[in-house]
Amino acid sequence: MTKLCPFPMLSMALAGTWLMLAGFSLPHLVLGSLFAIMIPFVIAPLLGVLPGVRSVIGAMRLTGHVMWDIIVANITVARLVLGPVSRLRPAFVEVPLTATHPYAISLFMSMISITPGSIPLALSPDARTLLVHVLHVEDEEVFVSNVKERYERPLMEILEC
Amino acid sequence: MLDFLVSILLLVGSFFIVVGAFGLVRLPDFFMRLHGQTKSTTLGVGSFLLASVVHTVDGGFTLQELLIALFLFITAPVSAFLLGQVGLQRHVPSRAPLPEDFPGLRHEPMDLPSRARPASHPGD
Protein backbone atom coordinates (compact mmCIF):
# COMPACT_ATOMS: atom_id res chain seq x y z
CA MET A 1 0.00 0.00 0.00
CA THR A 2 2.80 2.42 0.83
CA LYS A 3 4.43 1.53 -2.50
CA LEU A 4 1.28 2.27 -4.44
CA CYS A 5 0.37 5.36 -2.48
CA PRO A 6 3.45 7.01 -0.95
CA PHE A 7 1.65 10.26 -0.01
CA PRO A 8 -1.83 9.25 1.22
CA MET A 9 -2.82 12.77 2.36
CA LEU A 10 -1.81 14.31 -0.97
CA SER A 11 -3.62 11.58 -2.91
CA MET A 12 -6.78 12.10 -0.88
CA ALA A 13 -6.60 15.86 -1.41
CA LEU A 14 -6.12 15.38 -5.17
CA ALA A 15 -9.05 12.98 -5.47
CA GLY A 16 -11.21 15.27 -3.35
CA THR A 17 -10.28 18.30 -5.44
CA TRP A 18 -11.09 16.45 -8.65
CA LEU A 19 -14.50 15.38 -7.37
CA MET A 20 -15.28 18.91 -6.19
CA LEU A 21 -14.28 20.29 -9.58
CA ALA A 22 -16.06 17.75 -11.79
CA GLY A 23 -19.01 16.82 -9.60
CA PHE A 24 -19.47 13.48 -7.89
CA SER A 25 -20.15 10.51 -10.20
CA LEU A 26 -18.71 7.04 -10.68
CA PRO A 27 -16.64 7.83 -13.83
CA HIS A 28 -15.13 10.86 -12.13
CA LEU A 29 -14.44 8.83 -9.01
CA VAL A 30 -12.40 6.39 -11.13
CA LEU A 31 -10.66 9.17 -13.02
CA GLY A 32 -9.96 11.11 -9.82
CA SER A 33 -8.50 8.06 -8.12
CA LEU A 34 -6.30 7.45 -11.13
CA PHE A 35 -4.97 11.01 -10.94
CA ALA A 36 -4.58 10.72 -7.18
CA ILE A 37 -2.31 7.70 -7.65
CA MET A 38 -0.35 8.93 -10.66
CA ILE A 39 0.29 12.61 -9.92
CA PRO A 40 2.23 12.07 -6.65
CA PHE A 41 4.68 9.81 -8.53
CA VAL A 42 5.28 12.48 -11.16
CA ILE A 43 5.82 15.35 -8.71
CA ALA A 44 7.55 13.33 -5.96
CA PRO A 45 11.04 14.71 -6.82
CA LEU A 46 9.73 18.25 -6.29
CA LEU A 47 8.00 17.59 -3.00
CA GLY A 48 10.88 17.06 -0.62
CA VAL A 49 9.86 15.84 2.81
CA LEU A 50 6.17 16.41 3.46
CA PRO A 51 5.33 17.30 7.04
CA GLY A 52 2.77 15.14 8.79
CA VAL A 53 -0.36 16.69 10.25
CA ARG A 54 -0.52 16.22 13.98
CA SER A 55 -3.97 17.60 14.74
CA VAL A 56 -6.79 18.08 12.26
CA ILE A 57 -8.86 20.00 14.82
CA GLY A 58 -5.96 22.39 15.35
CA ALA A 59 -5.73 22.94 11.60
CA MET A 60 -9.44 23.73 11.41
CA ARG A 61 -9.17 26.12 14.35
CA LEU A 62 -6.22 27.88 12.70
CA THR A 63 -8.20 28.17 9.44
CA GLY A 64 -11.02 29.76 11.40
CA HIS A 65 -8.59 32.19 13.07
CA VAL A 66 -7.12 33.20 9.73
CA MET A 67 -10.57 33.76 8.20
CA TRP A 68 -11.62 35.91 11.14
CA ASP A 69 -8.36 37.88 10.88
CA ILE A 70 -8.95 38.42 7.16
CA ILE A 71 -12.34 40.02 7.90
CA VAL A 72 -11.04 42.21 10.73
CA ALA A 73 -7.89 43.23 8.84
CA ASN A 74 -9.89 44.06 5.70
CA ILE A 75 -12.07 46.49 7.62
CA THR A 76 -9.03 48.02 9.33
CA VAL A 77 -7.16 48.43 6.06
CA ALA A 78 -10.24 49.83 4.28
CA ARG A 79 -10.42 52.51 6.99
CA LEU A 80 -6.70 53.23 6.61
CA VAL A 81 -6.92 53.53 2.81
CA LEU A 82 -9.99 55.79 2.90
CA GLY A 83 -8.59 57.92 5.72
CA PRO A 84 -5.74 60.44 5.43
CA VAL A 85 -2.94 58.65 3.58
CA SER A 86 -0.26 60.97 4.97
CA ARG A 87 -0.86 59.55 8.42
CA LEU A 88 0.07 56.00 7.38
CA ARG A 89 3.37 54.72 8.71
CA PRO A 90 4.55 51.91 6.42
CA ALA A 91 7.60 49.94 7.46
CA PHE A 92 9.76 46.98 6.55
CA VAL A 93 9.73 44.66 9.53
CA GLU A 94 12.07 41.73 10.04
CA VAL A 95 10.33 38.72 11.55
CA PRO A 96 12.68 36.11 13.03
CA LEU A 97 11.47 32.60 12.19
CA THR A 98 11.23 29.75 14.65
CA ALA A 99 9.85 27.30 12.09
CA THR A 100 12.49 25.55 9.99
CA HIS A 101 10.45 23.24 7.77
CA PRO A 102 10.03 24.66 4.22
CA TYR A 103 6.30 23.87 4.16
CA ALA A 104 5.76 25.53 7.53
CA ILE A 105 7.62 28.66 6.37
CA SER A 106 5.71 28.78 3.11
CA LEU A 107 2.35 28.38 4.88
CA PHE A 108 3.33 31.06 7.38
CA MET A 109 4.21 33.42 4.52
CA SER A 110 0.92 32.73 2.74
CA MET A 111 -1.00 33.49 5.92
CA ILE A 112 0.82 36.80 6.41
CA SER A 113 0.16 37.62 2.78
CA ILE A 114 -3.59 36.95 2.65
CA THR A 115 -4.31 38.88 5.82
CA PRO A 116 -4.37 42.43 4.45
CA GLY A 117 -1.95 45.03 5.67
CA SER A 118 1.17 42.91 5.56
CA ILE A 119 3.09 41.20 2.75
CA PRO A 120 6.19 39.06 3.15
CA LEU A 121 8.68 40.19 0.52
CA ALA A 122 11.92 38.33 1.14
CA LEU A 123 13.37 35.38 2.98
CA SER A 124 16.99 35.51 4.07
CA PRO A 125 19.24 32.87 2.42
CA ASP A 126 19.56 30.96 5.70
CA ALA A 127 15.73 30.91 6.03
CA ARG A 128 15.89 32.41 9.52
CA THR A 129 14.41 35.85 8.90
CA LEU A 130 11.42 37.06 6.96
CA LEU A 131 11.17 40.59 5.58
CA VAL A 132 7.59 41.86 5.78
CA HIS A 133 6.19 45.13 4.46
CA VAL A 134 3.44 46.48 6.70
CA LEU A 135 1.03 49.15 5.47
CA HIS A 136 0.67 50.80 8.85
CA VAL A 137 2.55 49.83 11.98
CA GLU A 138 2.37 51.50 15.37
CA ASP A 139 4.83 49.24 17.16
CA GLU A 140 7.03 46.80 15.25
CA GLU A 141 7.63 44.50 18.22
CA VAL A 142 3.92 44.14 18.88
CA PHE A 143 3.38 43.25 15.21
CA VAL A 144 6.14 40.62 15.24
CA SER A 145 4.99 38.94 18.44
CA ASN A 146 1.40 39.10 17.17
CA VAL A 147 2.01 37.20 13.90
CA LYS A 148 4.31 34.72 15.59
CA GLU A 149 1.81 34.05 18.35
CA ARG A 150 -1.26 33.87 16.09
CA TYR A 151 0.09 31.95 13.09
CA GLU A 152 3.54 30.47 13.57
CA ARG A 153 3.06 28.81 16.95
CA PRO A 154 -0.21 27.00 16.07
CA LEU A 155 1.32 26.06 12.70
CA MET A 156 4.27 24.40 14.42
CA GLU A 157 1.91 22.63 16.79
CA ILE A 158 -0.11 21.27 13.86
CA LEU A 159 2.75 20.17 11.59
CA GLU A 160 5.22 17.47 12.60
CA CYS A 161 8.50 19.19 12.00
CA MET B 1 -34.98 36.42 1.49
CA LEU B 2 -32.14 34.59 -0.27
CA ASP B 3 -31.99 37.28 -2.95
CA PHE B 4 -31.65 39.86 -0.21
CA LEU B 5 -28.69 38.00 1.31
CA VAL B 6 -27.08 37.59 -2.13
CA SER B 7 -27.44 41.32 -2.80
CA ILE B 8 -25.89 42.22 0.55
CA LEU B 9 -22.93 39.91 -0.09
CA LEU B 10 -22.41 41.30 -3.61
CA LEU B 11 -22.50 44.86 -2.25
CA VAL B 12 -20.01 44.05 0.49
CA GLY B 13 -17.68 42.35 -2.02
CA SER B 14 -17.91 45.26 -4.44
CA PHE B 15 -17.18 47.69 -1.63
CA PHE B 16 -13.93 45.96 -0.72
CA ILE B 17 -12.81 45.62 -4.34
CA VAL B 18 -13.51 49.33 -4.92
CA VAL B 19 -11.52 50.13 -1.78
CA GLY B 20 -8.65 48.04 -3.18
CA ALA B 21 -8.77 50.00 -6.44
CA PHE B 22 -9.00 53.23 -4.47
CA GLY B 23 -5.89 52.25 -2.57
CA LEU B 24 -4.07 51.67 -5.83
CA VAL B 25 -4.71 55.31 -6.76
CA ARG B 26 -4.30 56.92 -3.36
CA LEU B 27 -1.33 55.11 -1.84
CA PRO B 28 1.95 56.86 -2.57
CA ASP B 29 4.49 54.10 -3.34
CA PHE B 30 4.91 50.70 -4.97
CA PHE B 31 5.06 48.61 -1.81
CA MET B 32 1.97 50.22 -0.30
CA ARG B 33 0.05 49.69 -3.55
CA LEU B 34 0.87 45.98 -3.40
CA HIS B 35 -1.50 45.77 -0.43
CA GLY B 36 -4.46 46.62 -2.66
CA GLN B 37 -4.08 43.43 -4.64
CA THR B 38 -4.09 41.10 -1.64
CA LYS B 39 -7.02 42.99 -0.17
CA SER B 40 -9.42 42.64 -3.07
CA THR B 41 -8.66 38.96 -3.56
CA THR B 42 -9.54 38.03 0.00
CA LEU B 43 -12.68 39.59 1.41
CA GLY B 44 -13.93 41.02 -1.92
CA VAL B 45 -13.76 37.80 -3.88
CA GLY B 46 -14.67 35.86 -0.74
CA SER B 47 -18.01 37.68 -0.48
CA PHE B 48 -18.69 37.12 -4.20
CA LEU B 49 -18.07 33.40 -3.81
CA LEU B 50 -20.28 33.27 -0.73
CA ALA B 51 -23.00 35.05 -2.72
CA SER B 52 -22.65 32.42 -5.42
CA VAL B 53 -22.97 29.61 -2.87
CA VAL B 54 -26.11 31.18 -1.40
CA HIS B 55 -27.57 31.82 -4.85
CA THR B 56 -27.18 28.20 -6.00
CA VAL B 57 -28.01 26.60 -2.68
CA ASP B 58 -31.52 25.42 -3.68
CA GLY B 59 -30.35 24.00 -7.03
CA GLY B 60 -27.95 21.50 -5.52
CA PHE B 61 -24.99 22.38 -3.36
CA THR B 62 -21.65 22.77 -5.14
CA LEU B 63 -18.22 23.09 -3.63
CA GLN B 64 -16.55 24.70 -6.63
CA GLU B 65 -16.61 28.10 -4.93
CA LEU B 66 -14.50 26.63 -2.16
CA LEU B 67 -11.95 25.53 -4.76
CA ILE B 68 -11.82 28.99 -6.34
CA ALA B 69 -11.10 30.44 -2.90
CA LEU B 70 -8.44 27.79 -2.29
CA PHE B 71 -6.68 28.42 -5.61
CA LEU B 72 -6.78 32.17 -5.01
CA PHE B 73 -5.28 31.78 -1.56
CA ILE B 74 -2.51 29.63 -3.01
CA THR B 75 -1.64 31.90 -5.94
CA ALA B 76 -2.19 35.45 -4.62
CA PRO B 77 0.70 35.34 -2.09
CA VAL B 78 3.08 34.06 -4.79
CA SER B 79 2.39 36.94 -7.19
CA ALA B 80 2.60 39.50 -4.37
CA PHE B 81 5.89 37.98 -3.23
CA LEU B 82 7.40 38.05 -6.74
CA LEU B 83 6.29 41.64 -7.36
CA GLY B 84 7.77 42.65 -4.03
CA GLN B 85 11.03 40.87 -4.81
CA VAL B 86 11.37 42.84 -8.04
CA GLY B 87 10.61 46.06 -6.19
CA LEU B 88 13.23 45.34 -3.54
CA GLN B 89 15.94 44.29 -5.98
CA ARG B 90 15.38 47.35 -8.15
CA HIS B 91 15.20 49.73 -5.17
CA VAL B 92 11.95 51.39 -6.23
CA PRO B 93 11.14 54.56 -4.29
CA SER B 94 9.46 53.75 -1.00
CA ARG B 95 8.11 55.78 1.88
CA ALA B 96 9.22 53.16 4.37
CA PRO B 97 13.03 53.18 4.43
CA LEU B 98 14.31 50.26 2.32
CA PRO B 99 16.15 47.62 4.34
CA GLU B 100 19.79 48.10 3.39
CA ASP B 101 21.34 45.24 5.30
CA PHE B 102 18.83 42.43 4.78
CA PRO B 103 20.81 39.35 3.70
CA GLY B 104 20.36 38.17 0.13
CA LEU B 105 19.36 41.55 -1.31
CA ARG B 106 21.44 43.66 -3.65
CA HIS B 107 23.00 46.71 -2.08
CA GLU B 108 23.11 48.95 -5.14
CA PRO B 109 20.24 49.74 -7.48
CA MET B 110 20.34 47.58 -10.58
CA ASP B 111 21.29 49.39 -13.76
CA LEU B 112 18.63 47.99 -16.05
CA PRO B 113 17.56 49.65 -19.30
CA SER B 114 13.97 50.80 -19.22
CA ARG B 115 13.35 48.98 -22.51
CA ALA B 116 14.93 45.68 -23.42
CA ARG B 117 17.81 46.17 -25.83
CA PRO B 118 18.01 43.79 -28.80
CA ALA B 119 20.31 40.96 -27.85
CA SER B 120 23.68 40.96 -29.58
CA HIS B 121 24.43 37.71 -31.34
CA PRO B 122 27.89 36.22 -30.79
CA GLY B 123 28.18 35.46 -34.50
CA ASP B 124 27.75 39.11 -35.62
Which one of B33, B39, B47 makes the best mutation probe of the A interface by having the most chain A beta carbons within 10 Å?
A: B39
User: Do A107 and A148 share a domain, yes or no?
Assistant: yes
- A63 shares its domain with A42: no
Task: Name the domain count of chain A.
Answer: 2
Q: Are residues A75 and A42 in the same domain?
A: no
User: Are A17 and A83 found together in one domain?
Assistant: no
* pTM of structure: 0.81
pLDDT digits (tens, 9 = 90+) for A128-144: 889 999 888 888 888 88
**Predicted local confidence at residue B71, as pLDDT:** 86
Residue scoring higher pLDDT (B119 or A99): A99
In angstroms, the separation between the Cα of residue B26 and the nearest Cα of chain A is: 7
pLDDT at B124: 43
Asked whether residue A101 falls in the same domain as residue A61, the answer is: yes
Confidence bin at A28 (pLDDT 50/70/90) = confident
Same domain, A101 and A141: yes
Assess if residue A97 is contained within a domain. Answer: yes
CATH of the domain at A147: 3.30.70
Long-range contacts from B90-97, C-beta under 8 angstroms, 24+ separation:
B92/B29, B92/B30, B92/B31, B93/B29, B93/B30, B94/A90, B94/B29, B94/B30, B94/B31, B95/A88, B95/A90, B95/B28, B95/B29, B95/B32, B96/A89, B96/A90, B96/A91, B96/A92, B96/A133, B96/B29, B96/B31, B97/A92
- Residues A90 and A143 placed together within one structural domain of the fold: yes
- Is there a single domain that holds both residue A112 and residue A81? yes
The pLDDT of residue A155: 86
Residues A138, A72 within the same domain? yes
A130 assigned to some structural domain: yes
**Percent of chain A whose predicted confidence (pLDDT) is above 70:** 97
* Domain with A79 in it: 56-158
Domain boundaries along the sequence of chain B: 2-95
**Residue A3 falls within a domain, yes or no?**
no
- B76 vs A114: CB contact, 8 Å cut-off? yes
Domain co-membership, A43 together with A66? no
Do A70 and A148 fall into the same domain? yes
Q: Is the pLDDT of residue B122 over 70?
A: no
Subunit contact B77:A113, Cβ cutoff 8 A = yes
Judge if A63 and A122 occupy the same domain: yes
Predicted ipTM > 0.90:
no
Does A2 map to a domain? no
Among A122, A92, A109, A117, residue whose Cα is nearest residue A148: A109
Q: What is the pLDDT of residue B109?
A: 61
The answer to whether residue A1 is domain-embedded is no
Nearest CA in chain A to B23: A81
Q: How far is A19 from chain B (nearest CA, A)?
A: 9
Test the B interface: residue of A74, A75, A93 with most B CBs within 10 Å: A74
On chain A, the residues whose CB falls within 8 A of the CB of B76 are 113-114
Task: Give pLDDT, residue A161.
Answer: 63
pLDDT in tens, A45-86: 888 777 777 888 888 998 898 889 888 888 888 888 888 888
